[in-house]
Amino acid sequence: MRRIMKTDLLLLILFFSVLINCFFFYLFLKRPKHLLPVQTEENRLCAYFRGGLGNNMFQYASTYGIARARNMTIGITPTSLMFNTFNISTRFLIGKQFCDTAEKVVERKPCAYDKGSVHFYRKNNLNYIHKSYLQSWKYFQDVESEIREQFVFMEDVQHKARTLIETLTKPFSSNNLTIVGVHIRRGDYKLDKNVKYGYTLATGEYLGRSLKYFRDRYHPLVFIVFTNPNVEDLKWCKYHINGSDVVFAPESPREVDMCAISMCNHTVMTVGSFGWWGGFLANGTTIYFKNVARNDSSLRKDFSSDMSDYFYPGWIGLE
């Protein structure tokens, strides 16, 4: 009798063990496919994201360009802002654990092209992660068309941005209306720590010259101003940017603002990477503020000597 009971108990344990394994196997089959690491057998160069949307776009585009130059494949996680904002292929997805354990690569200057950031020593069958800002167009100049193809916003974002543009330009309805997106960043650039580091703010005189550049060349014309909606910054902007051809965009999610700027014909940027990418995606005439870093400051040392590694070729710098 005891032998029979012992046998029954073992069979019962075996049954539940098989049942549990079947359950977990079922969950494995039902797992979201995009959460799995893809092609982990090849060398991956993981993008390391920090900062805001503009920072992340530099980090993705430059890491992608470096990966292509080194015959590697970029790796990003499914939860990244880039993957959930733009038309980025699922074949670049990789499990977070692979990037967490990857060999680290770091840059020397955040806003200048560094050959060492591209031609770093690497071993086969290892994944790497570029823990850098990589804010230079030179890292992705050879794959620019591919970056533009990938930096296409999700349909819902495009719809919101298009509606925003149509609403703001309705009073100026014209078949040949020229739309200029103006991005003004102030906010955090006024913080003591950032001022001490070397960050500067675009002046009212600079904005006056920038608007005049377009007013002298286009008619009919409308400027759409995108800025932080806090009271102080809005007051400053409305004092320095005014006229019957100026409208201010209401507060929107950052990706909608970026998408709307990209839908404009031309761009006026002040400081920061957000405006940089707005101008890049709009792909028209872009005017930028030349004095983005105080001379002899720590920030100025982050750039190349003439800042040409940072500002895109063909853009117009004004003071």
Sequential DSSP letters for 71-136 = T-EEEB-TT-HHHHHB---GGGB--HHHHHTSEEE--S-TBS--HHHHS----TT--EEE-S----
pLDDT at 70: 95
- Within 8 A by CB and 6+ apart from 6, the residues are none
Q: Indicate the pTM of the whole model.
A: 0.86
Question: Which whole number is the average pLDDT over 42-70?
Answer: 96
Range in 72-76, 170-174, 217-221 with the lowest mean pLDDT: 170-174
Distance CA 298, CA 303 (A): 10
Tens-place pLDDT, residues 64-99: 999 999 999 999 999 999 999 999 999 999 999 999
Question: Which whole number is the average pLDDT over 215-227?
Answer: 97
